Structure 1
Amino acid sequence: MSIFLTPFARARLFPKERRRNTIQDCTPEEFERHLNEHAPLKVLDGYAPFCKLHVHRNWTSTRCLTVPIGDDNRHLLRSGYEARTKDELAVLVRWFEGVEAPVANWLVVILYGREQLAKEGSPIDADWGVVGCLYTMEPEEIPMAPITMMRNALGVEEGGSGVSLDREAYRRSVEFWECNANWRP
């Protein structure tokens, strides 16, 4: 099985201007090589048949993706409209400023199969393409953000995958994201 770091994931996980809330201590090439040379602790099913999650012990100093919201940090939440790429419509997102998450124990790598990536206009030569990565304390997936689930349901034309909305998964997502937020340095 071969794994390729897609341009979409590369831009998000390894931005040109490095940030403390992205993958640390390795280059995109080293990250891709590590995924191809080291078997994951476990493989989880993703939200659709073409999606798999490879759980790796964190070999970097990458910090957790999210921080729990509490009375002590709620005042540090910010929000704004953003698009992930120049071709997508902006959506409302929120994040912490002035909070730093602990170092993650696990990197949960989100992979899409070659056929799905071709359908989305991003063909690859490998079997699987990295589309994202979750940095977590537990070796489990954190729920996809509600807006990402909605974007996916809109279809590939809007930057999604064309997978219908699962109402129960959406409810679980809202429960998680009401109590947690991403952070930015």
Structure 2
Amino acid sequence: MKILLTPFAQARLFPKSGRANTLQDTTPEDFERHLNAHAPLKVLDGYAPFCKLHVHRNWTSTRCLTVPITDANRHLLRSAYEARTKRELPVLVRWFEGVEAPVANYLVVILYSREQMAREGTPIDADWGVVGCLATAAPEEIPMAPITMMRNALGVEEGGSGVPLDREAYRRSVEFWERNANWRP
């Protein structure tokens, strides 16, 4: 099985600015090489048949993606309308400023099948394409953000995957994201 780092994931996981809340201590080439050379600790089913999650022990100094919201840090939450790419419409996002997450224990790599990548207009010469990576404390998936679930339901033309909204998964996502937020340096 061959895994390839997609341009979408590379731009988000390895931005030119080298932000502290992205993958650390590895290059895109080394990250891809590691995924192809080391079997995951476990493989989880993703939100659709074309999506798999490979759980790896964190071999970097990458920090957890999210931080719990508490009364002590709630005042550090920020929000803005942002788009992930130039093609997408901006959506409301929120994050912490002035909070640093602990080093993650696991990297949960989000993979899409070759067929799905082609359907979304990004054909790859591999079995699976990396579309994201979650840095976590536990060897499990962080629920997809509610807005990402909605974007996926809107379809490929709006930057999604075309998977219909699962109301129960959406409710679980809201429950998690009401209590947690991403952070930015």
Deviation digits for residues 92-120 of structure 1, max 9, x if unmatched?
00000000000000000000000000000
Q: Where in structure 1 are there 5+ consecutive unaligned residues?
A: none
Deviation digits for residues 24-67 of structure 1, max 9, x if unmatched?
00100000000000000000000000000000000000000000
Residue number in structure 2 paired with 1:68:
68
1:159 aligns with 2:159: yes
CA RMSD of aligned residues (A): 0.2
SS in 2 for 1:40: coil
Residue number in structure 1 paired with 2:85:
85
Distance across 1 between alignment mates of 2:72 and 2:58: 28
Distance across 1 between alignment mates of 2:76 and 2:115: 41
Distance across 2 between alignment mates of 1:133 and 1:30: 15
1:126 aligns with 2:126: yes
> How do 1:1-185 and structure 2 match up within 5 A?
1-185=1-185
Distance across 2 between alignment mates of 1:19 and 1:171: 31
Distance across 2 between alignment mates of 1:144 and 1:26: 25
With normalisation by structure 1, the TM-score equals: 1.00
Identity value in percent: 86
Q: Where in structure 2 are there 5+ consecutive unaligned residues?
A: none
SS in 2 for 1:31: helix
Matched pairs, number:
185
Superposition misfits of 4+ residues, deviation over 2 angstroms: none
With normalisation by structure 2, the TM-score equals: 1.00
| Counterpart code for 1:110 | I
Deviation digits for residues 61-85 of structure 1, max 9, x if unmatched?
0000000000000000000000000
